[in-house]
Chain A
Amino acid sequence: MKMQHTRFMQYLAGAAAALLLTGGVVAGVMNTPAPDFTLKSHSGQNLKLSEHRGEVVLINFWASWCGPCRQEMPLLSELHNKYKALGFTVLGVNVEQDPSEAKKLLRENPVSFPVLFDNDSVVSKQYDVVAMPSTVLVDRNGKMRFLHKGYKPGEEEIYLEMVRSLIRE
């Protein structure tokens, strides 16, 4: 038992060391065309991504049951208001099969940017969404440039950086 005790403690120590060092990949840089899509928006009209060619677009995939998603919504709203005059827009894409919870959330906490509903997960699959939330930045030429997975408070600074650099181009 004593042998097993020391061995177990070593594994525990190893795991502790391991996780302290691995943070996990949360961001990516790329330059591929952003797949075009058409989705119904919160206001009822259909919205197409390619209509925003010429603008910098921040696509944010979110769900009502995702805490960090809800945390970053007001910040994205601010971001949208701040830079929309310079040719920038935030597009929220709700990924839920049943949009009623999301609609309820938006009624209670309205946002300034258009919210689209991807009920059939078509766009989520197109963009290979593997983390929640996921934020994709598309430049004025319709190319995907940055991908940010997840959200932790403070990371809105990263969005700010990415948006500014794309606007300046």
Chain B
Amino acid sequence: MRVVPVVVVVAGVAVTRQLNVRFAGLCLMLVGSAAGAAVLPDDRADALYHSYEGGGVEITGPSLLVLKKFGQSVAVTGNYYVDSISSASIDVVTTASPYTEQRTEYSGTIDYLHGNSVMSLSYGNSSESDYEANTASFGISMDMFGNMTTVTIGYAYGWDTVERSDLSTFSEDVRRHNYRVGVSQVLTKDMILEMNYEGITDEGFLNNPYRQVRYVDSIVPSGVGYQNEVYPNTRTSSAVALRSKYYLPWRAALLGEYRYFTDTWDIDAHTFKLGYTHPLAGGWKVEGSYRFYTQDAADFYSDLFPFVDAQNFLARDKELSNFTSNTLGVKVSYEFIKDGWRAVDRASLNLAYDYIWFDYDDFRDARQTDPVTQPAGTEPLYDFTAGVLQLYLSVWF
């Protein structure tokens, strides 16, 4: 009994220094109209508490969002997000020392509704002690064919500064361009299909300045030598995704998603996701999902190089390795205000938990190296699990 809410997604990609989390920079998601028509979303406010724990890393923090319409043609959105990081990940403990850090992100979007289209403009900034990312983006979302088809196009430009907390003279830049095209199509009265393409080009200093690769060094007693990572200074990637939702007769929804990714670093990845949403009586709703991800390593990645300076480009970031991940997720929602109460139209409380298994096929646990019993290259392959918790309140007014 409500207009389907519009997507106002402002996403930030983690930019944390240190070896366990590859940074990318801030990437603002396009704010398109969605909701099947030239109707701006209802005013809303969301407060989320997020918590990630796994592989020796703990990241928690809030994410706050407010969306307000001004007149009937303009909607303004603001988002505030914080990551409080406490990291003793495998990369950190093998080559550095545990640390704490805080990353703060602010972003804002303006949507303008005209006829059957919505134009959006956004800007966001993400900042931590040694990384600053900025993103500006523009997008258009158009409804056509009697609102059965929605076409979205967008472009985002990012500019980042990379620094080192241990070397004040170090400062490098990154420039990012994102191109997005998407088509959403109503297939039947019970099914909708969406296709998205995103091309990204990065140039500049693309690796983590602290991370190192290792190589066989027969001279030192440990048998392992370390040198800094060297990455190409450009990266171009393409991702194509298909997702679909199907309405089941007893009032439930089935979700299916697939994404193919490829880039100039020779990484190929496939993502599959299945989801099921089941509303219950009294305003309750449960959702379950399963996600599978598999990726092929970058061509300049290796867990252990044969000698120093073995290649022009060297990486030992496990995010660029051959690995798979499996996620099981559960979410419970309770809509405690359904029919309005004072200024509030609707409100819901939500709790989501995702459990992720990461399994690496060519990244070894370097904490277990022993030159005699388990020399470098023979340690067990690394794997870890992570629990992601989200507790959030959504209010529509």
> A interface vs B, CB < 8 Å?
1, 4-5, 8-9, 11-12, 15-16, 19-20, 22-24, 64-68, 101, 104-105, 108, 130-131, 152-154
Contacts and interface: CB of A to CB of B under 8 A. Distances in A.
The 7 A-B residue pairs with the shortest CB-CB distance, nearest first, are A67-B3, A19-B117, A23-B115, A153-B72, A101-B1, A64-B1, A24-B115
Contact of A16 (B1, B39, B140, B201): B140
Contacts of A64: 1
Q: How large is the interface on B (under 10, 10 to 19, 20 to 34, 35 or more residues)?
A: 20 to 34
Interface of A is mostly: helix
Nearest to B113: A152
B368 to A, nearest CB: 42
Interface string B129-167: 000000000101010001000000101000000000000
7 contacts: A4-B199, A5-B177, A11-B153, A23-B114, A24-B115, A67-B3, A108-B339
A9 B179 CA distance: 9
B360 to A, nearest CB: 31
A43 B110 CA distance: 45
Interface in B67-118: 72, 114-117
Contacts of B2: 65, 67
Contacts of B236: 1
Contacts of A66: 3
Given A8-B179, A65-B1, A101-B1, 8 more contacts: A1-B201, A12-B140, A15-B153, A19-B140, A20-B114, A23-B115, A24-B115, A64-B1
Given A16-B140, A20-B114, A23-B115, A9 B1 contact: no
A120 to B, nearest CB: 15
A153 B39 CA distance: 11
A131 B72 contact: no
A50 to B, nearest CB: 30
Interface in B174-204: 177, 179, 199, 201
A113 to B, nearest CB: 20
Contacts, number: 51
A11 B181 CA distance: 11
Given A12-B138, A65-B3, A67-B39, A22 B146 contact: no
B119 interface: yes
B350 to A, nearest CB: 22
A85 B118 CA distance: 42
Nearest to B177: A5
Nearest to B339: A108
Contacts of B115: 19, 22-24
A12 B72 contact: no
A141 to B, nearest CB: 31
A19 B114 contact: yes
Contacts of B39: 67-68
Interface centre among A64, A65, A67, A152 (most CB of B within 10 A): A67
A20 B140 CA distance: 11
Contacts of B339: 108
Interface string B331-365: 00000000100000000000000000000000000
Contacts of A16: 119, 140
A65 B5 CA distance: 12
A20 B116 CA distance: 10
Nearest to B234: A1
A80 B258 CA distance: 51
Contacts of B153: 11-12, 15
Given A22-B115, A24-B116, A105-B1, A15 B140 contact: yes
A154 B138 CA distance: 28
B155 A9 contact: yes
B392 to A, nearest CB: 24
A19 B141 CA distance: 10
Given A11-B153, A19-B115, A19-B140, A152 B72 contact: yes
Interface in B1-60: 1-3, 39, 42
A12 B151 CA distance: 12
A5 B200 CA distance: 11
Contacts of B116: 19, 24
A15 B118 CA distance: 12
A121 to B, nearest CB: 11
Contacts of A15: 140, 142, 153
Nearest to B138: A12
Contacts of A22: 115
B155 A8 contact: yes
B395 to A, nearest CB: 18
A39 to B, nearest CB: 22
A24 B177 CA distance: 32
Given A19-B140, A131-B146, A12 B114 contact: no
Contacts of A131: 146
A104 to B, nearest CB: 7
Given A19-B115, A101-B1, A130 B146 contact: yes
Contacts of A105: 1
Interface string B316-342: 000000000000000000000001000
